[in-house]
Amino acid sequence: MREFQAYFCVLRGQHFVELKKLRFHERLRDYLQVYDSVNQVRKDSEQEGLVFVFLSHQWRAAAR
pTM for the full predicted model: 0.67
41 backbone dihedrals φ, ψ, rounded to 5°: -65, -45
SS3 44: helix
- Give me the sign of the Cα torsion angle 24, 59, 5, 43: positive
Cβ 15 vs Cβ 31: under 8 Å: yes
Higher pLDDT residue, 62 or 47? 47
pLDDT at 64: 61
Domain boundaries, the chain: 1-64
Q: What is the pLDDT of residue 55?
A: 76
pLDDT per residue over 22-55, tens digit each? Answer: 888 889 999 999 999 999 999 988 998 888 888 7
Residue 1, pLDDT > 70, answer: no
